[in-house]
Amino acid sequence: MPEVQGGENLLFLTDEQLRQGIEAMFFAYRGFTADPDRILSGMAYGRAHHRAVHFIARAPGTTVNNLLNILGVTKQSLNRVLRTLVDDGLVDSRVGKSDKRERNLYLTDEGMELERKLSDAQRARMRAAYRAAGPEAVSGFRQVLEAMMDTEMRRQYYKIRDAKS
């Protein structure tokens, strides 16, 4: 059998395989966001609020600028979301201690309650998927996702992850 693929089995790199991966990402992401979206619909919040709340919960005291980098939106867009959360008493925005231009963001008790509700739903789905697929699959899943990120996003991802160890 001729080694047309450089001596390795690269069948997983055929266009058809790649297209299937693309479609899997598309359909899976729908599932990924479905449960939080369901919870948020009916409240005055949307996916953007979920993202803000998630990363504030994850890195309490984070600055607006930092959140901007993580979320990759404009400050005007984030500000609109943040303002409603602050006004509604879910997020506390405190003037920075060392640098008073900065605002450090924290969830209030009410904010934490919403975060937990959203997170519980999303983690439940992730847990079910992980459990169904098994530890080895999970490892592969994470490897491919990390390789798919833009360099700057991967940096952000590691930064958050490593702060938790």
Considering beta carbons, is residue 64 or 126 the nearer one to DNA?
64
Query: Is residue 64 within 8 Å of residue 165, measured between CB atoms?
Result: no
Residue 146 interacts with which of a second copy, DNA, none, CB < 5 to 8 Å by class? a second copy
**Quick one: tokens of 31?**
């599932």
The Cα 131–Cα 138 span in angstroms is 9
Residue 153 interacts with which of a second copy, DNA, none, CB < 5 to 8 Å by class? a second copy
Q: How many helices (H) and strands (E) does the chain have?
A: 7, 3
The gap from C-alpha 65 to its chain's centroid, in whole angstroms, comes to 17
Q: In angstroms, how far apart are the furthest CA atoms of the chain?
A: 69
Size of the site for a second copy (CB under 8 A): 63
Considering beta carbons, is residue 86 or 129 the nearer one to DNA?
86
24 forms part of the interface with a second copy (CB under 8 A): yes
Query: Is residue 118 within 8 Å of residue 53, measured between CB atoms?
Result: yes
Considering only 5-13, 75-83, 85-93, 101-109, which stretch makes contact with a second copy by CB under 8 A? Answer: 5-13
Residue keyed to tokens 């984070």 = 62
Residue 2 interacts with which of a second copy, DNA, none, CB < 5 to 8 Å by class? none
Site residues (vs DNA, CB under 7 A)? 44-49, 51, 63-65, 68, 71-83, 93, 95-96, 98-103
